[in-house]
Chains A and B, each alone.
Chain A
Amino acid sequence: MDSAREIPDAEAKRGDARPQTNTPSGRTASLPSRSLSGQVAVVGVGTTRYGKLPDHDAYDLGVWALTEALADAGLEFGDIDGLIVNRIADYQRFGEITGIDPGFVTITPGQGRFSGICIEMACAVIAAGLARTVALVYGNDGRSAGDRYGGASDLYGSGGAGLWFPYGMTSPGAFHALMAQRHMALYGTTEDQLGEIAVTFRKHAALNPSAVMRDPFSLADYHASRFICEPLHLLDYCLINDGGVALILTASERARDGKAPPIYIRGFGQATALAGSSFPPEDFWRAPMQKVAADVRAMSGLAPDDVDALMIYDNFTPTVLFALEGFGFCPIGQSGPWVADGGLRLGGRFPTNTSGGHLSESYMQGWALNVEAVRQLRGECGARQVAGARHVQYLAAAPVVTSIVYGSAPS
């Protein structure tokens, strides 16, 4: 019998179908179901080289990453019965060139928030028995294709179909500069504190042979880097590069037969702040983050103190501050001093983005951070390994907030 289909029965046996109470906002208090904890595992991860790869388009990068992930898992293309494609233009073409006919397929927009969304969707698909082995495939040829994140072709940041271009407003960077300025005014956050994030992630990247940018820099170098959109400097911005990432997820019961040690998805959650989202959120997305933090904690049974390392979506340095505060890893308004004290560093309170993240490893829009979480828990990270890591949490602060806690054990 398909083990994935046993999950609803297992839930019933555990008596976990607790009554749901409606909150004042109309949300259902006990969603997502706690019984999902540990039911799905990552059994394969694959990454391409990162950088400028002009001989590869997004499809090529996706196939490359998927081939690596399948080899890592000890599986074949024909074993894939669920396919979730992100940033690659067409799922049909992707299936055509890989020769697969999955029983479940979908495609999602090329926004970084969708890495977390896709992984969570894969968990739901597997738990519901719609597929047994889901491949998540991401390919990004943005560097070679000359993607722009500001100006007339800006589709990512300012929205409004160019409504604000007459005032010179454009780019996700400016959106985050506006948020950073407000955080500085409210809490006294400083450029030095933002700089510490960039310096720290570069130090981590120096220990990662796969990272695009590995030369360490100082806070003085940070200040000397030019402003793009003040208060943000060039070194507050993520890279733009080519690359691909793939993950293979399956039901935990099936995962134990695999080639790589399974890494279990212990908890996950999602909340949105779409209303009014053309403008920076006055609360730095705190409300949806607090909801997701509570949901993840309820599902996983794990609190911030149980987490050994963090992977934080770092499109720009301020996002790291917002995530730390919103998810309760430091007090509200205190993220600046907290990072300046070394909280993010290897050996610090919560080693974060040990790969170098989007700022220094590779702009893989959250995908490579989730892979780094898996590799940390497998103990594969060499000089940047967090000794004895058992739980690693991914955090993404955006109009769609997601978080995923990975564990080396299912419970």
Chain B
Amino acid sequence: MNAYRKPLPRLDDANLPFWDGARRGELRLQRCQDCGVCRFPAARACVRCHGTRSEWVATSGRGKVESFCVFHKGYFPGFEAELPYNVVVVALDEGVKLFSNLVGIANHAIEIGMAVEASFERATDAVTLVKFKPVATT
């Protein structure tokens, strides 16, 4: 099997709970224990109340596409074979935003405002990436 060639996240201590969660199929966020606001990446203090007590919690993994773009230029090794690939901004129901990729859909079918949910994609033994897929409509 070929070695994974795309950039990997730095597994710093502060964000380790996020990556541990992803490996277990959970989208975890850091939540302020004083005011309840979620944040990611990890920060010492809450952006709203500046309290420093926090915990990592599993979330719904659901959100909406706030915008998207499609890369035609390859900036990183490992992405060339996937050009053109999408990048989306997902606004999670918990108020946190993430950059990610939308999977299971053609780039031209992506729409702003579409409901999406987390889809976990193993990269290496240590790293599972949090991607998103459209929420199935019934």
Q: What residues of chain A have their CB less than 8 Å away from a CB belonging to chain B?
A: 150-152, 154, 158, 160-171, 174, 177-179, 181-182, 185, 226-232, 275-276, 278-280, 282
A165 to B100, CA, bound (A): 10
Closest 4 CB pairs of A and B: A165-B7, A177-B69, A151-B75, A230-B70
Query: Which residues 60-92 of B sit at the A interface, judged by CB distance below 8 A?
Result: 66-73, 75-76, 79, 82, 84-85, 87, 89
> Which residues of the other chain, B, contact A177 by a CB distance below 8 angstroms?
69
- Closest B residue to A279 by CB, please name it: B97
> Which residues of the other chain, A, contact B99 by a CB distance below 8 angstroms?
158, 164, 167, 169, 279
A115 to B9, CA, bound (A): 33
A229 to B87, CA, bound (A): 10
Q: Is the interface of B mostly helix, strand, loop or mixed?
A: loop
> Which residues of the other chain, A, contact B87 by a CB distance below 8 angstroms?
167-169, 174, 178
> Which residues of the other chain, B, contact A165 by a CB distance below 8 angstroms?
7, 9, 76
Q: What residues of chain B have their CB less than 8 Å away from a CB belonging to chain A?
A: 6-10, 41, 47, 66-73, 75-76, 79, 82, 84-85, 87, 89, 97, 99-101, 111-113, 123, 127, 129, 131
Give chain B nearest CB distance to A228 CB in angstroms.
Answer: 5
Contact A182–B75 (Cβ < 8 Å): no
22 A-B pairs with CB atoms under 8 Å apart are A150-B73, A151-B76, A154-B75, A160-B41, A162-B7, A162-B10, A166-B8, A166-B127, A167-B129, A168-B71, A168-B79, A168-B82, A169-B87, A170-B75, A179-B67, A185-B111, A226-B72, A229-B70, A230-B72, A276-B97, A279-B97, A279-B99
Contact B9–A181 (Cβ < 8 Å): no
> Which residues of the other chain, B, contact A171 by a CB distance below 8 angstroms?
75
> Which residues of the other chain, A, contact B100 by a CB distance below 8 angstroms?
167
Contact A230–B47 (Cβ < 8 Å): no
Q: A178-B89, A232-B69, A282-B66 are in contact. List 15 more A-B contacts (CB 8 A).
A: A152-B7, A162-B9, A163-B41, A166-B7, A166-B129, A167-B87, A168-B79, A171-B75, A178-B67, A181-B68, A182-B67, A227-B72, A276-B97, A279-B89, A280-B66
Q: Of A168, A178, A276, which contacts B101 at CB under 8 A? A: A168
A3 to B77, CA, bound (A): 59
A152 to B74, CA, bound (A): 11
A171 to B76, CA, bound (A): 11
- Closest B residue to A171 by CB, please name it: B75
Contact B6–A166 (Cβ < 8 Å): yes
A160 to B8, CA, bound (A): 13
A227 to B111, CA, bound (A): 19
> Which residues of the other chain, A, contact B84 by a CB distance below 8 angstroms?
227, 230
Contact A168–B10 (Cβ < 8 Å): no
- Closest A residue to B85 by CB, please name it: A168
A179 to B68, CA, bound (A): 9
> Which residues of the other chain, A, contact B112 by a CB distance below 8 angstroms?
181-182, 185
Give chain A nearest CB distance to B75 CB in angstroms.
Answer: 4
Contact A168–B76 (Cβ < 8 Å): yes
Give chain A nearest CB distance to B108 CB in angstroms.
Answer: 10
> Which residues of the other chain, B, contact A229 by a CB distance below 8 angstroms?
69-73
Chain A CB within 10 A, most for which of B47, B71, B72: B71
Chain A CB within 10 A, most for which of B9, B73, B82: B73
> Which residues of the other chain, A, contact B73 by a CB distance below 8 angstroms?
150, 228-229
Give chain B nearest CB distance to A333 CB in angstroms.
Answer: 15
A177 to B72, CA, bound (A): 12
Give chain A nearest CB distance to B63 CB in angstroms.
Answer: 13
A228 to B70, CA, bound (A): 8
A340 to B109, CA, bound (A): 27
Give chain A nearest CB distance to B37 CB in angstroms.
Answer: 12
> Which residues of the other chain, A, contact B89 by a CB distance below 8 angstroms?
178, 279-280
A174-B87, A181-B112 known; A150+B75 contact, CB < 8 A: yes
> Which residues of the other chain, A, contact B8 by a CB distance below 8 angstroms?
166
Contact A280–B129 (Cβ < 8 Å): no
A150 to B71, CA, bound (A): 11
- Closest A residue to B131 by CB, please name it: A167
> Which residues of the other chain, A, contact B47 by a CB distance below 8 angstroms?
275
- Closest A residue to B111 by CB, please name it: A185
Contact B76–A181 (Cβ < 8 Å): no
Contact A178–B10 (Cβ < 8 Å): no
Contact B69–A181 (Cβ < 8 Å): yes
> Which residues of the other chain, A, contact B41 by a CB distance below 8 angstroms?
160, 163
> Which residues of the other chain, B, contact A227 by a CB distance below 8 angstroms?
70, 72, 84
Give chain A nearest CB distance to B68 CB in angstroms.
Answer: 6
A185 to B112, CA, bound (A): 7
> Which residues of the other chain, B, contact A279 by a CB distance below 8 angstroms?
66, 89, 97, 99
Contact B10–A161 (Cβ < 8 Å): yes
> Which residues of the other chain, A, contact B79 by a CB distance below 8 angstroms?
168
